[in-house]
Amino acid sequence: MSLPIVHLYVTAQFDQGFDKPEYAGSLLRGQFGRMLKKRLCLLKDTPCNECSLYNHCSVPALFDAPGPNQPVPYVIHDPLWGAMHIPPGMPWRFRHTLIGHRAIQHIPLVVQIWDRVFRQGLGAPSNTGRIVQVEDSSGQVIATAHSTGVRLVADTPVIRLKKCPNLPSDWRITLHTPLRLFFKKQRIMPQQFKPEHFCKSLWHRLHALAHAYEELQAHLDLSDTLRQHLFTTPVEVKTLAWRKWQRFSTRQQAYQDMSGLVGQLQLHIQHPAVKELIWLGAQVHIGKNTTFGLGAYETAHADCL
């Protein structure tokens, strides 16, 4: 049985090149949201949660949480950390993850919105480009470039995520983007990090998603017994560092500190269901600010690294 989660891998090219910021996840998230509302919103002066069309509109289905204090149905992730110049015509790839049936059914719209974003310029009119293709997690092409824009490949089913692959007990977790954890409203630095912080953040994230998106509950065992198994999983810190990063908030017209933990952890996991939880966390990210790709981690068998 497949999970109600879809990874869309978007490949784009720029006409005149692009000076990619240190991390583009925040820029991508902001540009997608603005274009989505620009193209679809009929009552632009009305907040989404006060709009009479809320339950019939694609904007909240793709960009807003289904309820107060609930997670939104997406993660937008830039896999390349570090500022760089992307030359004209060079492919640049990022990932847009959709969570829940309501968001997944809008895949054609997601593809068209990204096409509009790049044609009008990512972050600036000078950063124009085009979508080359869009793939799912199996590598299957679901949309390709066309003379008038991007075109969906006809009758191509989008592959949803399968269950966790069968890996041995010793796992290596690589934290790729800042993992932002807090305890009593204070951020957790490397010297304060404890193994249970990772497990508690993972549990909180998956529990919140299952509560917000009921179709995910059928695939998750969130029993107290499994919670205990997860929280008692041996976690060893291999390397841990503090990665500084800040983003500019257009809404607040100020820079925000988004620094967090990066490095490697090693886990010895005996329970198969715990493996599934940790693998699933890698698909949806954990910690604060997952919407633009923070809290990304990768799982692998420890002997493979």
Q: Are 216 and 99 in contact (CB under 8 A)?
A: yes
- Whether the pLDDT of residue 304 is over 60: the answer is no
Return left, alpha or beta for 123; rule: phi > 0 is left, psi -120 to 50 is alpha, else beta.
left
Q: Are 296 and 202 in contact (CB under 8 A)?
A: no
Query: Which pairs count as long-range contacts for 210-215, CB under 8 Å and 24+ apart, including other chains?
Result: 211/70, 212/65, 212/66, 212/67, 212/70, 212/71, 212/100, 213/4, 213/66, 213/73, 213/99, 213/100, 213/101, 215/4, 215/100, 215/101
Q: What is the spatial distance between Cα 30 and Cα 33, in angstroms, rounded to a whole number?
A: 5
- Whether the pLDDT of residue 302 is over 70: the answer is no
Q: What is the spatial distance between Cα 96 and Cα 6, in angstroms, rounded to a whole number?
A: 8
The domains located in the chain, with CATH, are: 5-152 (3.30.70), 170-299 (3.30.70.1900)
Which whole number is the average pLDDT over 124-136? 96
pTM of the full predicted structure?
0.94
Contacts of 167 (CB under 8 A, 6+ apart): 275, 299, 300, 301
- Residue 78 — φ and ψ, nearest 5°? -95, 115
- Whether the pLDDT of residue 305 is over 60: the answer is no
Nearest 5°: the CA angle 196, 65, 140 is 85
Q: Write down the mean pLDDT value for the chain.
A: 91
Give the DSSP letter of residue 291: G
- Hey, CA dihedral for 57, 63, 69, 70, is it positive or negative? positive
Instruction: Tell me what pLDDT residue 230 has.
Output: 94
Instruction: Tell me what pLDDT residue 147 has.
Output: 79
Which whole number is the average pLDDT over 67-93? 94
Give the residue among 242, 40, 38, 14 at the shortest CA–CA distance from 130: 14
Q: Are 160 and 3 in contact (CB under 8 A)?
A: yes
Q: What is the spatial distance between Cα 115 and Cα 64, in angstroms, rounded to a whole number?
A: 21
Instruction: Tell me what pLDDT residue 303 has.
Output: 52
pLDDT digits (tens, 9 = 90+) for 198-218: 999 999 999 999 999 988 888
Instruction: Tell me what pLDDT residue 51 has.
Output: 87
Residue type, 5: I
Separation of CA 23 from chain center: 13
Q: What is the spatial distance between Cα 185 and Cα 288, in angstroms, rounded to a whole number?
A: 12
Q: Which residues of 115-137 are buried (b: 16+ CB within 10 A; e: fewer)?
A: bbbbbebbbeeebebbbbbbbbb
